[in-house]
A and B are shown apart, each in its own frame.
Chain A
């Protein structure tokens, strides 16, 4: 009785622990605070001590309710409601613990687990799913087991083995369940990162320090050790802030297709759904964009792409070529020469100090790299624009400052220039054959309009981007993550159809006579093989007394006796009236249950 109870206990305990884990992975450490009492109450219950009285419990419940009221007005109302319920349940566990509470813990644990799917997309979810699913099944099973039955180690193995098989089948079903290309009712997605409406000087590095993977870029052929991913283009600058062009919408088309380009290469992008961009990241310049779920707005003049309706999930293919000839004239781009007046005079002084060579833009870059250092820049002076502060006083800055300085200096010299924000990554995963773009890879550079196309100039000192020497294991882990995202998390109606269309030809081939016959032969051969294996197993691994029993049955059958259903061996032997048979059964029981050596049994068998 005690043992079964302890198992029940551990189920709930484990569920609580897993809920904590899921919460920790998903929403941060603050959730632990809600589950800590749950933990403690279990520990106290295990030691058999009552922690709170009913009255004290009620008082604390009141306090919790008051504390939770402002929290209810936060973004995730349902999540907060769940935590509130969990908090109250925790209190109940403190005060008194009944068997019904296990049901509550399980149910709430399951709800928390389901909720965690909203924000927990990492591969850890899989582990959590396997453990949680097994525990739920075990809990449901324990509900029908009477308390007085002890569950021993061996039967536990069988139980968990069965549950493991159930889990495997559920994973198989996961791929078969029909996906829906449409949505019945939508949700507004409020979360959006990587959305730079404006960019302050010194602002890029401030926000982008984590090593969270944002996207993976899989180029058809790896040409360089690095890859630039464009995200957002800025044109006008007021001395401290960059902002995009106001008349952005001009020349917007829903879809642009330039076909028959011989130098076409495909860039395939994969997104982490946890992070959503307003602007589609691109490598170099897109020619054709294919995406099924939403629409892209494509500004051909600026070579910029923007999503019109922000989707929940993005998965698109970009066909990109070396820069095409664009019918764009210099006259069309007056705003790319604008320099704010507050900066103008300072820049003129700087230009005077630059020793220009034939390559004007190259000499600006050389000047910047020689006289300025790479490092953290924080604007402190209010009296002058921050870019001037960088150029004249601090002389130390990051990519945004270098790029801004370059853009402004180039504009002073009459070059049509703009600032591009995106990512520069050197992290290539050879296992999966893709570049990994992390949050900390955020970068800014300049683009200059030369001979009808935009050309990239990166003034930031090179070699300062650290190359990640990732361990081989980490590469594999990332590849597993990549597979998880592409094959599981983003598995869609389209993928399902793709697989089905791949399988169909084989199916039709099988339907023809020859293939059908072949399949038949294979099945028969497999059956025969399994029978042979079973026989071999029976010959090699079955103990002697079992073999002897088979021999005994054969002998009795020869004499015309067949054992009835429900008849014990002894009854059978007595019914036959054969004394040797009785002797055999006695000896058989001795060998089977008494641990006697089977020599007596052999002797009797010989006499048959």
Chain B
């Protein structure tokens, strides 16, 4: 009771001081990479504004709320090319914005985090799924909005185990990221009682993703590649590099479903998600950007909304005040996923349900019923506190 009274008094203070104060401007930087990652499917080719479009919507949402609290939010976009000086770019951006939404590969993200650490810059990772960024390479000034590979793999594994599809044929691409994804699936299989009956590697021999007579060739290659497999229930593809996974469905030697990088895919968001009030954000996004909302858009929306939410709760644009609030047990954010999203205090990863989608529909949402946890069922996804190697500094 006393706690709530104190809360009430401070809330009262927030509203009254906010009404009296001059408008507060909060600048948010968006640091992304130039260029677009190629995909096998033409319809999945990301837009040039993939990610930042979500941040732009959240800026509008924050400003609607900000009108009542005299807070204004601004977004500044910076793109870096391969080989550019990331540290220099982020230092320059941090001169204007304490909060930086980063859509960068893991090494660039670490460089950026370390470059702005002394000046109090806070990064929101919306692009990199690498577990190491939340483990051995974790940083006290990086909040991770993007789910990790292990969270995604666990989400899929829970569903497959619930479905009793426990015998997996794992097909792995030949790039480093593909191997990391495969690691996550191996770990998930061991955790949830699935069995990888065999592993195969799909070598990337180069070549164009788009050719005029591609289908004919693929239709001959894939059955051959997948034949003579031991008995399995589902084929799991680990192909972050977009080399082969989307070629697998309907072409496997045995009639089996495909999951992972193609088929049934675990993701933080999808344009087909319509539960828990999600139609509202899908509509708002569509109206603003004239296209559908992707996982990266949602991750950037969440990052920007988290800054807005913390600013409205603390009535402050100060980096320390906002970071302290985001790390505190009082913080939670609504993300159209049916429950509050909170932050794991041991590695600053956002807890979140994971959608399992087939490209057109949301098939299921993990964690699945029955996967229990003593703290939060969301912690059945990914590396949990007792296993964590992260020591935040």
Partners in one complex: no
